[in-house]
Structure 1
Amino acid sequence: MLVAGSFVTLIAIGFPIAFALAATALIYIFASDNTVLLQSYAQQMFGGLENYGLLALPLFILLGEMMNSGGIGRRLMALSLALLGRIKGGLAYVNLVANMFMASILGSAVAQITIMSKMAVPEMERAGYPRDVSVAITAAGSVLAPIIPPSMMFIIFGVIAQIPIGDLFIAGVVPGLILFVAFIGVIAFLGQKHGFPTTDAMTMKERGRALIDALPALSIPVIIIGTILGGIATPTEAAAIATLAAMLIGLFVYRDMSFRDLAPAFVRAARNAAIVLFLIAAAQVFSWVITFENVPATVAAWLQSLTSSPLVFLLLLNILLLLLGTITDPIPAIILVVPVLLPVAMDTYGIDPFQFGVIVCLNLTLGLLTPPVGTGLFTAALMGNVRAERIAWLIVPFFLASAVVIVLLSLFPPLTIGLKGLLE
C-alpha cells in the first residue's frame, strides 16, 4: 500500500511519471528502513537499460524521422490510392491502407497520427470528405501501430517481460490484419452514413508510375519484416538496416532530404529516445521495489479469489486496461502493469506471454484516443483543427470494432501464437 499510495500522491501533485517512479522507490527504501538497498539503487536503474533489445527503440525512432523527411510516407499514400482505384469512399480506404503501411515502419501511434494528418486529411477534405470524419479516420488508423511490427510498445513489453522481441513482432501480424479488416468494415459503414465521394479512376499508366515511384519506399517494411521472419537479422539489426536504407532513399533516390536535414533529425530522435529510455530506467527501480513488497503475489491471490478461469481473468484485464488507458499513456501503463500482472497471467492462469503482450498493447493504445488524457486524440484534433470531443464521438465505431477484436484475441489464443508456432 505504501508503494501505491506514494506513487498516486506524486502523480496527483504533478510529478512526471518517470520521476514519480524513481521517487516512489526511494520513499519505500527510507520508510521501510531498508537503506541498504540504496547501494543497489543506481545499479538497478542502469540495469533497466542494459538490454540489447532496447537498442531497437532509438533506431526505430530515427527511422521515423528519416521517413518523415525523406518523402517515403507520401509515396506510400500515392501507392495506396493507385491500388484501390475507383470506389466509393476510396480516399478513406487509402487513408487506412497508408496507415497500415506506416504502422509497419513507424511503430508509434502518435508519430503516425502526426504524419498522416499532414498527408491524408487535406487530400480528403479537397475531395469532399467532412474534415472531422477525415481526422477521425486518420486517428483511428493509428491503432494499427502497436500491433503491426515493428512496434515500440512491443519492444518495451519484450524488454520488461524478457521474451524475444522478434517473436512478439510475429505474434502481432495476424491480429493486425484482423483489426485492419474490421476497420475496413467500419469505413464502409461510415461511407454509407456520410455519403463519401467516389475516387476518380486512374489509368494503368498512372498506377504503374505510382507503383514504380513507391518501390524504394516499400523496401523499408520488406527489410524490417523480411529480415526478422527470415532469421537474417534481429529486430535491432533490422532497425539499423532500415534506417540506413531510409536515409539513402531520402537523400539519393527521392532527394526530398538534404544533408542539412540529418543533424536536426538525429537530435529529435535522440531527445525522444532519451525520454522513453529514462522512463524505462525508472520503471526498473519501481519494479524492483514492488517485487520486494511482494505486490505480484498479493495481486495473484486477490485475482484467484475472484476467478480461476483464464478467460474471465483476461476479460477483467481488458476492462482494467481500458480504464487505465484513459488516464495514462501506453508506455507508462505497460511499465506499471507488466511486472505485476504478467507473472500472475503466466504462473496462475497459464496464459501465453505473447498473447498477453498483444492484448495489453492493443488495449492501452485505445487509451490514446479516449479522454481525459488521450494524447493521440488531442494530437489529431490539433493537427486537423477540429474539436477533440467531436473526434472522440466519431471514433466510437472504430473503438467498438477494436473491442470486438480484443475479445476475439482473448477467446482464441492461436490468433496470436499460431503464426509463431508455424514458423518455428
Structure 2
Amino acid sequence: MDAAMNYADAASAPANPLARLLAGVNRNVMHVVAAVAATLVVVETGVLLAGVIYRYALHDPLIWSDELASTLFIWLSMLGAVLALDRGEHMRLTAIVNKLSDKWRVWLETVAALIVCIFVLMIIHPAVDHASEQMAITTPALEIPDGLRAAALPVGAILMFLAAIARMASRSSVKQVLSAVAVVAVIGAVLWISKPALLAMGNYNLIVFFVVLIGVCVAGGIPIAFAFGTATMAYLTIATGAPMMIVVSRMDEGMSSLILLSVPLFVLLGSLLEISGLARTLIDFMAALLGHVRGGLQYVLLGAMFLVSGISGSKAADMAAIAPALFPEMKKRGSKPEELVALLSSSGAMTETIPPSLVLITIGAVCSVSITALFIGGLMPAVIATIAIGIVCWFRARREPMPDVKRASIGVIGKTLIAAIPALALPMLIRVAVIEGVATATEVATIGVAYTIVVGLVMHAFMKHLDFKRIYPMLVEAATLSGAILLIIGMATSMAWALTQSGFSAKLVSLMQGVPGGGFGFLLITIVIFIVLGSILEGIPAIVLFGPLLFPVARSLGIHDVHYAMVVILAMGIGLFAPPFGVGFYAACAIGKVSPDKVFNRVWGYLAALVVALLVVAAVPWISIGFLEH
C-alpha cells in the first residue's frame, strides 16, 4: 500500500484541448482548495486554542468553540480528502499494480479514476439532500443552520469528481477510457442481473460485495476509502431497499466525531517537531549518552522512535524525522545500511500503541473505548516490544567492532540535555495530561502545537534554523493526510453500518464465541487476522472496518477492551511493516535509500521478536490493564 503514489507514474501532458482545459481548471481550483484547507488548519487550531485558554486559564469556557470547531472540521476533512485524491495520496494497495507493464498499469489507473467518478456522482445528490435536511436544524450555541456544516459533503464530492475526471482525461487515452467504461459497465450489469440470485443467497451475498468486490477493487489499486464506499453503495442498491442518503449520513457521523478533532492537530504537531529542530535535539542528547557503547546508536534510534512516535499521525513522518539525523553517523561506525533499515522498520511497528498514536484515538472513536484508558494501557506493551527489539539489537551488535568514539564528557551530556529539555518535555506533557485526565486528547494536541511554535521561535532567535517557506506546504500536508484518514473512517462507518444491519455482526459474535480455547483462542485468531489486514489494508482502515465487529465479541468472552485493543494494534503494526505487502516496510526502505531486496532477510529477526512480545502481551492482560486499576 502506498499513501503517496501518483495515479499514473507515466504522466504526460494532456493530449487534446479538452483535457488541457480540464487540467488547467482543476489545477487552479486545487490551488484555491489548498489555500482554504491550509487556512482551516490555522483557524481550527486557533479556535481550539482559544477554547483551551478560556477554559483552563480564564475559567470561563467558550460554549461555542467546540461547535465552531466541529463545523470547520468537516470542511477541513472533505477538502483534505479532495487534495489527497488530486495528489494521489489516498491509501491504496500498489504491490500488484506496480508489477504490471506500463500499459496495464495506466489502464488500471483509468479504471480507478472511473470508479471514483461513479461513486462521487452517486453520492452528490444524496449529499445535497442531506445538507438540505440539516438546514432545518439550528445549532444550540451559534444558532446557525447545521446544513452549513453538512454542505461540506456535496461540495467535497463535486470537487473530487473534478479531480478524478481531470486526472483521467490528462493521463488516459480515449481508447483506455472507453475500455474501462465497458468493463465497469459489464461488472455492474452482471451484478444487477444477478440480483435475484444474490437476494436468494441471504447473508452469503455479503461475501460477493464485501470480500470479492472490495478485494478486486483494492487489488486493482483503487483507493481504499472508495473501495469501501463502492462496495457499500453496490450492496445497498442491489441487496436492500435502503436509500443512498444513509451512506452520506453515516459518512457524516463517522467524520464528525469530536474525538477525531485531534487528528489534524497531531499531524501538524509532528511536522512542527521536525522543522522546529526539537527532534534533532532529542537525538543529540541520547547519542551523547549512548553513542560510545557497542550498538549504541541503534539504541538511540529505538529511544527516539519511542519518544517521538505517534505524535505525527504518520509512521513515514516519524521515521523520516529520525533516520536522516542518525543514519550517516551509524554508517560511519560500520553499521550496514540494510541492517539500519530493518531496525527502522521494526521500530515503527513497535510504537503503534504509544500515546498519542492516532490509531489509539481512532479505536477510541469507532469502538467506544476510553481514550484515556487506551493512553494509559498503551505504554507497557510498547515497552515490552521495545525490550524485545533491544535484545535482538544486543545480539547483533556483539558482532560489530567497538565504536571509535570517546565517551561524552559530563559537560557535553549536560549541554545536550539542556538543549533537549523542551523536546523531552513535550511527549511527557502530552501523555501525562491525557492520562491524568487534565485535558482531552484534542486539547492536549492544541497545547502541544502552541508549545512547539513558541519553543521553535525561541530556538530560531538563537540558531536561525527555521525555514518559513516550509510552513504553507506543511499546513497543506496536514490537511491532506487528515482528509485521507478521515474519509476512510467515514466510508468504513457506512460499510460497518451496512454489515450491522444485515445481521452479520450478530452471527460473527455467535461464531467467534464458539472458537476453541475461549478468550485466548480468540486472541490468537485476532492476531492472525490483524497481521494479515495490517499488511493489506493498513492500520486505520483495518481497525475502523473490523474493530466495531470484533470488539463486542471480545467483550462477550470477558476480554478487557484495552487489553484487546493492544493486541489488535500490535498485530496490525507487525502486518504494516512485514514484507512483502506491508507499506511501512517499503516506506522505511525508501527513507533509508536501500533496496527492499537487501532488507528482506534482515527484518525477520526483529519481526519474530515482536511476535514473541505480542504473544506475551496477549497472554498477560496485566501488561495492558494493570495500571488502569490505580
- Fold in common (TM above 0.5): yes
2:479 aligns with 270
Whether 1:346 aligns to 2:555 is yes
Aligned-residue identity in percent? 29
Structure 2 residue corresponding to 1:216, chosen from 398, 416, 422:
422
Structure 1 residue corresponding to 2:618, chosen from 403, 410, 416:
410
1:91 aligns with 297
Structure 1 residue corresponding to 2:563, chosen from 348, 355, 358:
355
2:573 aligns with 365
Alpha-carbon distance in 1 for matches of 2:300, 2:240? 60
Whether 1:28 aligns to 2:235 is yes
- Counterpart residue identity of residue 258, structure 2: Y
Describe how 1:25-424 pairs up with structure 2 within 5 A. Answer: 25-35=232-242, 37-84=243-290, 86-103=292-309, 105-106=311-312, 108-195=314-401, 197=403, 199-254=405-460, 255-307=464-516, 309-347=518-556, 349-422=557-630
- Counterpart residue identity of residue 380, structure 1: A
Larger Rg: 2
Alpha-carbon distance in 2 for matches of 1:416, 1:199? 39
Give the CA deviation at 1:41: 2.4
**Paired residues of 1:114 and 1:379 also in contact (CA < 8 A):** no
**Paired residues of 1:99 and 1:144 also in contact (CA < 8 A):** no
2:167 aligns with none
**Paired residues of 2:292 and 2:403 also in contact (CA < 8 A):** no
**Paired residues of 2:263 and 2:313 also in contact (CA < 8 A):** no
Give the CA deviation at 1:201: 0.9
Whether 1:12 aligns to 2:219 is yes
- Counterpart residue identity of residue 600, structure 2: A
Give the CA deviation at 1:262: 2.4
Change (3 A) 1:265 1:161: same
Alpha-carbon distance in 1 for matches of 2:401, 2:500? 55
**Paired residues of 1:107 and 1:148 also in contact (CA < 8 A):** no
**Paired residues of 2:372 and 2:437 also in contact (CA < 8 A):** no
Give the CA deviation at 1:202: 0.5
User: Over residues 113-148 of structure 1, what are the superposed CA-to-partner deviations in whole Å (9 max), with x where a residue is unaligned?
Assistant: 222221111121122211211222222221233111
Give the CA deviation at 1:195: 4.2
Alpha-carbon distance in 1 for matches of 2:586, 2:310? 23
**Paired residues of 1:174 and 1:419 also in contact (CA < 8 A):** no
Give the CA deviation at 1:331: 1.4
Alpha-carbon distance in 2 for matches of 1:409, 1:157? 18
| Greater CA drift, 4-13 or 308-317 | 4-13
Alpha-carbon distance in 1 for matches of 2:580, 2:569? 19
User: Over residues 285-321 of structure 1, what are the superposed CA-to-partner deviations in whole Å (9 max), with x where a residue is unaligned?
Assistant: 0111110112222222333443261011111211222
Instruction: State the SS of the aligned residue for 1:299.
Output: helix
Give the CA deviation at 1:397: 1.7
Alpha-carbon distance in 1 for matches of 2:402, 2:534? 32
| Greater CA drift, 153-162 or 249-258 | 249-258
Change (3 A) 1:289 1:195: farther
Give the CA deviation at 1:263: 2.0
- Counterpart residue identity of residue 360, structure 1: V
Unaligned runs of 5+ in 2: 1-206
**Paired residues of 1:327 and 1:372 also in contact (CA < 8 A):** no
Alpha-carbon distance in 2 for matches of 1:264, 1:324? 32
**Paired residues of 2:578 and 2:607 also in contact (CA < 8 A):** no
Alpha-carbon distance in 1 for matches of 2:629, 2:604? 34
- Counterpart residue identity of residue 589, structure 2: A
Instruction: State the SS of the aligned residue for 2:334.
Output: coil
**Paired residues of 2:289 and 2:408 also in contact (CA < 8 A):** no
Instruction: State the SS of the aligned residue for 1:193.
Output: coil
User: Over residues 251-308 of structure 1, what are the superposed CA-to-partner deviations in whole Å (9 max), with x where a residue is unaligned?
Assistant: 2224532544322211111111111111111111011111011222222233344326
Instruction: State the SS of the aligned residue for 2:292.
Output: coil
Change (3 A) 1:253 1:184: same
Give the CA deviation at 1:95: 1.4
**Paired residues of 1:107 and 1:146 also in contact (CA < 8 A):** no
Instruction: State the SS of the aligned residue for 1:391.
Output: helix
Give the CA deviation at 1:69: 0.8
**Paired residues of 1:328 and 1:367 also in contact (CA < 8 A):** no
Give the CA deviation at 1:100: 1.3
**Paired residues of 2:339 and 2:602 also in contact (CA < 8 A):** yes
Give the CA deviation at 1:400: 1.2
Change (3 A) 1:386 1:13: closer
**Paired residues of 1:105 and 1:150 also in contact (CA < 8 A):** yes
**Paired residues of 2:291 and 2:297 also in contact (CA < 8 A):** no
Instruction: State the SS of the aligned residue for 2:558.
Output: coil
Alpha-carbon distance in 1 for matches of 2:320, 2:291? 26
Alpha-carbon distance in 2 for matches of 1:283, 1:233? 28
Instruction: State the SS of the aligned residue for 1:116.
Output: helix
Change (3 A) 1:305 1:218: closer
Give the CA deviation at 1:199: 4.4
Alpha-carbon distance in 2 for matches of 1:195, 1:127? 9
User: Over residues 370-393 of structure 1, what are the superposed CA-to-partner deviations in whole Å (9 max), with x where a residue is unaligned?
Assistant: 223221111111222212132232
Unaligned runs of 5+ in 1: none
Give the CA deviation at 1:104: 5.7
TM-score by length of 2: 0.64
User: Over residues 33-54 of structure 1, what are the superposed CA-to-partner deviations in whole Å (9 max), with x where a residue is unaligned?
Assistant: 413x323221111000121110
Give the CA deviation at 1:18: 0.2
Change (3 A) 1:198 1:355: farther
Alpha-carbon distance in 2 for matches of 1:271, 1:309? 42
Instruction: State the SS of the aligned residue for 1:326.
Output: helix
User: Over residues 34-92 of structure 1, what are the superposed CA-to-partner deviations in whole Å (9 max), with x where a residue is unaligned?
Assistant: 13x32322111100012111011111100011011111111110111123253111111
| Greater CA drift, 323-332 or 289-298 | 323-332
Alpha-carbon distance in 2 for matches of 1:366, 1:29? 34
